[in-house]
A and B are shown apart, each in its own frame.
Chain A
Amino acid sequence: MQMKAIKLYFQTPLYMGGERGAIIPVHSDTIFGAIINALIYLNVDIEPFVGAFEENRFSISSAFPFRGEKLFFPKPFHINSYINKKIDKDPNLEGYLKLKKFKKKKFFDKENFEKMINGKIPDLDEINYEEKYGYKVADIPKIVLDRITVNSHLYHISQVFFEDNAGLYFLFQGDDEIFKNYIKPAIRLLGDEGIGGKRTWGLGKFKPKFEDIALKTQESDLFVTLSLTIPKNKNVLHLWDFIKRGDWIFTRNGKPRRKPTIMMVKEGSILNKDPGEIIDLDNYGNFSGEIGHKVLVNAKSFLIPVRWKH
């Protein structure tokens, strides 16, 4: 499976809001929103881009960490049950402890990820459970002083700090023309403008690098999604987890407004082929009336075939 990896080498820390442990991965709806906003800033007509996305001519994944040459992928949810069965056959304490560590591990390198999606079990002894993903989350204290009494309000914001040769990458699959005409220029602009919150402080700036990558996959009717998704048909879900999405809508020209809370299916979930959908927030309220333009949320899936034998 041929894809493009867009590596983001961060020059400044990244702020994504949300809870401390839940900042990475940066979800596909955020990336899509940032790309659309960058295209509008570049005065590009986005209708063909959105049209192509709706027609499934391309897809965008969430952004996962990389360190050096190593790309990390999320754990497909079917693999825990695989391992459970293996341990059941040969129950011993050592195996059990390894399983616990395996279950807690958030990301796997490409080699192990390929094993998992092709129905093989990675060697539990060879996995580096202490592996670092090239980033650290730190709470930065900030203070506001009351302008009558000078009493202080202390608050913290969580920022992600990356190692020099590490960062985040996301995958693009599909039409080369779209990649060349829309994704590349948008990402280059975002590199200077920053991605995520507190861009006015200078956070989230990066240098992009575009690479081709190939994933070894086999034919299957089951898939793992590497993006957030809302499937059109709920019966396609096999193993899944939910995530609440919300917060503010970024708009350059319109009135700021909060997003409605939307439940999405998380990266790593296993489902049948379902492209997901683009959500028009007008279905949730009079958003275009209040903000001044339409707001679309990306809930399209990024599917990788996965072999899962019982």
Chain B
Amino acid sequence: MEALKLEMLSPLHIGSGETLTPADFIANESEIIVLDLNKLFNMLISIGANIDEITEILETESYPWKKILKKYNLNPKEFERYSLKLIGNKGKYSMQVRAFIKSGGYPYIPGSSIKGAIRTAIMYKIVKNNPELLNQAVRKLYNEVKDLNSRGIGRVIKTADNWLEARIFGCNNRGYYEPKKDTLKGLIIRDSERISPRKLKVYGVWTIGERGTIPQYVEGLENVKIDFEFTIDENLLKLNYGEFNGTLKDINWEFIENALREFYEEVIKVELREIHKYGRYRDEVLEFYQDMQMKLESGEIPIRIGWGSGWYSTTLGVLLKTHPNFENLRRKLGLGRNPKTKKIVNDFPKTRRVANKKPLGWCFLKC
């Protein structure tokens, strides 16, 4: 096992699927105090509070606990489970906060997030060197969806990369992707060490490019360095060499490093080309990416993980956009469809997410 360090440059959010609502916390202008509701209810019962009235406040007020605690003269700090610094403004009427993935109350970065990003970068590197693979994938996908109705397309859209994945990483005799024949099973990345919950902050995330949106709130990490364990199982790779029937036959750290660098350099270039899409944060984001480009020249390894990293960073988008047939395919698949007007945008991807004036999820890896 070797150690890998991850340095978070911009706000990073990996969701647990849970959300905190104003019924779980008290929000000040600069801080959110997540309450220990058991303790609080026990106290309210012991002082003989009117539960019916509390229930009514909980149902009607947008930030109910502030009113309840004030009424009974209770100090919120006494019922604090943990508190989070708020970056951005508090929601005017209400706010829901998406929780960060935690184990035993401590946030951590799942190894699968890092491995997923590495996998995308490797896919990019291989497809870039084999343009025919991309041609075939786009052609095949287009033929598959051209006569389908919207329900059929809905099914295809979840598995659009299956053919490409099977070609690159290995398939069974029926041509479907087969994890047992995947070269990347030799790359093992463990979940990160536990991170102190005190390092979590709540970020207001703006979606730029949509009209009149309100921010989404997430628990996120920024400027934190953490350790991972990773290993490349040489023995497994050697013994199973004959089994791997995808384009990717062998991996080593140098290859992964190059893949990450090549992929994210291209992503940054595309983001800079479309910098106008960052609207009012354009200047700050431009500075952020230019700063990143400089650091990349000095040998840093970039990686982008987590929620809100965008279409370019999680897909082969930078290559797909250059393909002559992609635009037709995209319209058929409905990528970039406005959920309200149902119209498909001309300039896809249209929106960008920004928190603390930075694009989300950028990190450096250090071996």
Q: Is the CB of B158 within 8 A of A147?
A: no
Q: Is the CB of B112 within 8 A of A142?
A: yes
A252 contacts partner chain B, Cβ-Cβ < 8 Å: yes
Partner of B188, one of A142, A200, A253: A200
The A186-207 residues at the B interface (CB cut-off 8 A) are 200-202
A283 contacts partner chain B, Cβ-Cβ < 8 Å: no
A148 contacts partner chain B, Cβ-Cβ < 8 Å: yes
Q: A149 to chain B: which residues have CB within 8 Å?
A: 157-158, 160-161, 315, 333, 335
**Interface magnitude class on chain B:** 20 to 34
Partner of B164, one of A145, A147, A200, A253: A147
B333 to chain A, nearest CB (A): 6
Digit string of B307-321 for contact with A (CB within 8 Å is 1, else 0)? 000010011100010
Q: Is the CB of A201 within 8 A of B190?
A: yes
Report how far A145 CA is from B119 CA in the complex, Å: 11
Q: B262 to chain A: which residues have CB within 8 Å?
A: none
Report how far A253 CA is from B116 CA in the complex, Å: 26
Q: Is the CB of B17 within 8 A of A202?
A: no
The B152-168 residues at the A interface (CB cut-off 8 A) are 157-161, 164-165
Q: Is the CB of A147 within 8 A of B123?
A: yes
Main secondary structure of the interface of A (DSSP, over half): loop
Q: Closest B residue to A144 by CB, please name it.
A: B116
3 A-B pairs with the lowest CB-CB distances in the bound complex, closest first: A256-B180, A148-B160, A147-B161
Q: List 5 A-B contacts (CB under 8 A).
A: A147-B120, A201-B111, A252-B235, A255-B240, A256-B180
Q: Is the CB of A146 within 8 A of B160?
A: yes
Q: Is the CB of A146 within 8 A of B243?
A: no
A151-B157, A202-B191 given; name 19 further pairs at CB < 8 Å. Answer: A141-B17, A146-B157, A146-B158, A146-B161, A146-B315, A147-B120, A147-B161, A148-B137, A148-B161, A148-B164, A148-B315, A149-B157, A149-B160, A149-B315, A150-B315, A151-B158, A201-B111, A201-B112, A252-B239
B14 to chain A, nearest CB (A): 10
Q: B268 to chain A: which residues have CB within 8 Å?
A: none
Report how far A180 CA is from B236 CA in the complex, Å: 29
The A145-179 residues at the B interface (CB cut-off 8 A) are 145-153
Q: Is the CB of A150 within 8 A of B314?
A: yes
Main secondary structure of the interface of B (DSSP, over half): helix
B30 contacts partner chain A, Cβ-Cβ < 8 Å: no
A191 to chain B, nearest CB (A): 15
Q: Is the CB of A202 within 8 A of B311?
A: no
Report how far A142 CA is from B141 CA in the complex, Å: 26
Q: Closest B residue to A153 by CB, please name it.
A: B158
Known: A201-B190, A201-B191, A202-B191. Is A145-B316 also a contact (CB below 8 A)? no
Q: Closest B residue to A41 by CB, please name it.
A: B235
Report how far A272 CA is from B259 CA in the complex, Å: 62
Residue in A144, A149, A151, A252 with the greatest tally of chain B CB atoms within 10 Å: A149
Report how far A73 CA is from B116 CA in the complex, Å: 42
Q: Is the CB of A148 within 8 A of B190?
A: no
The A127-155 residues at the B interface (CB cut-off 8 A) are 141-142, 144-153
Report how far A22 CA is from B137 CA in the complex, Å: 41
Partner of B16, one of A141, A147, A255: A141
B259 to chain A, nearest CB (A): 14
Report how far A195 CA is from B235 CA in the complex, Å: 19
Report how far A150 CA is from B236 CA in the complex, Å: 31
Report how far A253 CA is from B160 CA in the complex, Å: 33
B229 contacts partner chain A, Cβ-Cβ < 8 Å: yes
Q: B17 to chain A: which residues have CB within 8 Å?
A: 141
B61 to chain A, nearest CB (A): 31
Q: B191 to chain A: which residues have CB within 8 Å?
A: 201-202
Q: A255 to chain B: which residues have CB within 8 Å?
A: 240, 243
Residue in A145, A248, A252 with the greatest tally of chain B CB atoms within 10 Å: A145
Q: B335 to chain A: which residues have CB within 8 Å?
A: 149
Q: A142 to chain B: which residues have CB within 8 Å?
A: 112
B208 to chain A, nearest CB (A): 18
Q: Is the CB of A147 within 8 A of B141?
A: no
A285 to chain B, nearest CB (A): 16
Report how far A252 CA is from B240 CA in the complex, Å: 9
Partner of B159, one of A146, A252, A256: A146
Q: Is the CB of B320 within 8 A of A148?
A: yes
Report how far A64 CA is from B173 CA in the complex, Å: 40
Digit string of A222-247 for contact with B (CB within 8 Å is 1, else 0)? 00000000000000000000000000
